[in-house]
Structure formats: structure tokens, C-alpha cells
Structure 1
Amino acid sequence: MTNWVERTGVVVLPSGATVRGRRVGDSASPADFALLLAPGPVPSWPHRRIRWPDFWVPLDRADALDALDEALRRAHAGSRVEVACRGGVGRTGTALAALAVLDGLPSDDAVRWVRERYHPRAVETPWQRRWLRRLR
């Protein structure tokens, strides 16, 4: 597994794979793949963007699940995967929680899990919590 240069924002998923959450535009060590959840600058490394309005849920559920599955596959393969939105809390926290659910965490535990491991205000809205409960 490839290690991160810094550990800020890095969470360990239930399987042991690691993923970094951060804000779009913040300087950070390079990743191998970025999942972008907001408009803004694109990194120089491979990336994919999900259309996900601030404080809401993804506009295209199938595309979001496909992108999250791709990020999870890459993380399992040892790639440095990051998830980023404008503020690095709501959408990023929701996506990190979704990755944990897709990785085997019960959906009822997702909000508590991401708030303990990533940010205490991750998953900011009731509809983001509902989206996580209905993820699979």
C-alpha cells in the first residue's frame, strides 16, 4: 500500500484501505486519484468529478455510486485516493461515510464513524444522512 506523506484528513476504512478527505484547492501532497465533489481547480493527478450541490446529495445517484465504487477499488489496490469538496466537511464527510458503508460498515453507523475519524461536523444535513441510510 502506498503511504500518504502527511496523515491530515486520512481515514482508515473498515477493510484497512486508506482515503484522504480535504478541501478543493488546498495544497496537499499528490494523490493517485481524486474524487471531486465541487467545482474548482483540478489536480494534476487522475480525477473524477461528481455533480453534488453544496449541502445536498449527488444529482446522479448511479454516477455517484459508480465513482465511489471506482475510488474504493483504487484504495483497495493501494492507490492514494482522496475525496474533496469546497469546505472539506459536508460532501466530503458524506462521501467518506459512503465509502465506509460500501466497504462493509453498517449504514446506521456511518455518521458516527466519519465524525469520530474525520471531522465532528461531517455529514451536515438530514438528507445527506438519509442518502447514506439508503446507499445500498
Structure 2
Amino acid sequence: MAETFKRRAPSQWGEGGALKEEILAAAARLLAESGREEALSLRAVAREVGIAAPSIYLHFKDRSELVATVTRRAYEKLVAELREARDGGTPHTTHSPHTTHTSRAPHTPRTALRAMAHRYCTF
């Protein structure tokens, strides 16, 4: 069965950053689905975005750079989440159907560590 190609609408002048973000989001989704870096191909990413595979090379020199960028961004997001939890930022709410957990305990090293551990696990 032939797979239909969904074509992405062309970017307007100066919107190349939007395509790069779409490529990164598609690569992150595909990596999350497969759970294996080896399973990610530039063709699959291009198909997900709706572009020709060579268009990816306008933003990333190769698959390794794309994977490294996705990984770096995920790490940066995790670090930001952990810092927010450590500093007692906005309480993180779990999305469990049975409980909603928000921590409003006084900020101590122990509560900071617990908040960070909880945020890490939900990340």
C-alpha cells in the first residue's frame, strides 16, 4: 500500500526558523516513538514534516547533528524543570487520574530534593 506524502506549505520569506522547529519536533516525536536513535532516518523526519529529505540539510549538516540538537534541547528542558522544582517555582501538577499533587511545603533542602525527584520522574 502506497503511503501518501503530505506536503508542507512553503515558508514565507524569513520563516526558515519555523521549518527548523518542525524538523526538530518531528525528530523528537519519532525518537520517542521508536526509543532508538538508530531507527531515526532523515527520510522519515522529512516525510513527517512534509518536505523533501534534502531540505533538512539546510538546517542540519547530518543526522548526527539533528539527533544531538534534539538531545541537547531535551536535556536543557530537564535542567530547567529541575531548577524550577529546586527553587520552589510553580508547583508541578501530576496528571494522574486518581491524584493531583502540588507541593506547598516550606522550602528546605529535603523538600527541594523531593520536588526535583518528583519532577524528574514525571519528565
- Fold agreement, TM-score > 0.5: no
- Whose strand fraction is larger, Structure 1's or Structure 2's? 1
- Whose helix fraction is larger, Structure 1's or Structure 2's? 2
Higher gyration radius (CA): 2
TM-score scaled by structure 1? 0.29
Q: Which has the higher contact order (CA 8 A, sep 6+)?
A: 1
